[in-house]
Amino acid sequence: MKGIILSGGSATRLFPLTATTSKQLLPIYDRQMIFYPLNVLVKAGIKDILIIVAPEQSGNFLNLLGSIFDKSDVRLEFKVQKNPRGLADAFIVGENFIGQDNVTMILGDNIFEDDFSEEIKNFKSGGKIFAVKVSDPERLGVVQFDTKMKAIKIVEKPKKWISDYAIPGLYIYDNRVIKAAKQVKPSARGEVEIVDINNWYLEKGELEVGLVRGKWLDAGTFDSLLEAGIYVKEKKLYEKFDPIINRAIVEFNEELKNLVKKKL
């Protein structure tokens, strides 16, 4: 299993904060946002992770993460996405990285309270996504269930209500996702939509939809960014990080402090 973190885009909803840095490098309590999706993948035992970034922010990501896992067996690669073409484009951009393996993709601004390690480790084939009950499904991809909670329909930002269950930014697919992504035709807004990937698997009867039980935060607005920091602090989610990441952050901080002392 390979991992992909999609951290491109300009995040205009967070201007002026993102005028000088990437949204995924903004702090959520005591660490940068990017560490939360990293933690989901590392806790699931994924060691090869591709981070897709915007060209103007690539240096900032390298400064933070370029060597932070040198003392562990986590291997990070970076790929610059010059023109964001939708979430599903990540599988085309990352084709050589994925190779013949399965892949888990998580969006760089999604923060989950749940631990998805077992779902990722036990994945065999097909596709698996997740659904969470929200108050504003019209702004997200939505999944409709039958009476037995089996997914029967997936629609991106439906104009008419079909369900209160939205699809957050965590996706697990087998290697065929590359083929599926290449077959997707760009939508009216010129993007390769992830909903088409999900429907590709759904039509084959090979899409499983799990439910998110804990808190899910999409830290893409000022309010949700603040809410995420407060929630992480109150629930002490930082204590649930994989030791590999916590150790890497501590060592990185100590190294920076020593460099500053030498300069002084």
| Domain contains 55 | yes
pLDDT in tens, 24-44: 999 999 999 999 999 999 999
- Are the CB atoms for 105 and 41 separated by under 8 Å? no
- Are the CB atoms for 192 and 86 separated by under 8 Å? yes
Is the pLDDT reported for residue 11 higher than 80?
no
pLDDT at position 210 is 96
Closest C-alpha among 2, 171, 192 to residue 95: 2
Over residues 104-128, mean pLDDT: 97
> What mean pLDDT is reported for the chain?
94
Structural domain including 43 reads 2-124+169-263
| Domain contains 179 | yes
Q: How many domains does the chain have?
A: 1
pLDDT in tens, 128-183: 999 999 998 888 899 999 988 899 999 999 989 999 999 999 999 999 999 999 99
**Rounded CA gap, 86 and 234, in Å?**
34
| Domain contains 154 | no
Query: Within 13 Å of residue 39, how many CA atoms lie on the same side as its CB?
Result: 25
Q: Alpha helix (H) ranges present in 44-125?
A: 58-65, 89-93, 95-98, 117-121
**Rounded CA gap, 248 and 17, in Å?**
26
pLDDT at position 264 is 85
pLDDT at position 70 is 94
CATH at residue 82: 3.90.550.10
| Domain contains 56 | yes
Long-range CB contacts (within 8 A, 24+) of 236-240: 237/111, 237/113, 238/29, 238/30, 238/31, 240/115
**Rounded CA gap, 167 and 155, in Å?**
10
| Domain contains 178 | yes
Tokens of 238: 């930082």
User: 201 versus 238: which is more confidently predicted?
Assistant: 201
Is the pLDDT reported for residue 226 higher than 90?
yes
| Domain contains 115 | yes
| Domain contains 144 | no
pLDDT at position 87 is 94
pLDDT at position 101 is 98
**Rounded CA gap, 74 and 45, in Å?**
9
| Domain contains 57 | yes
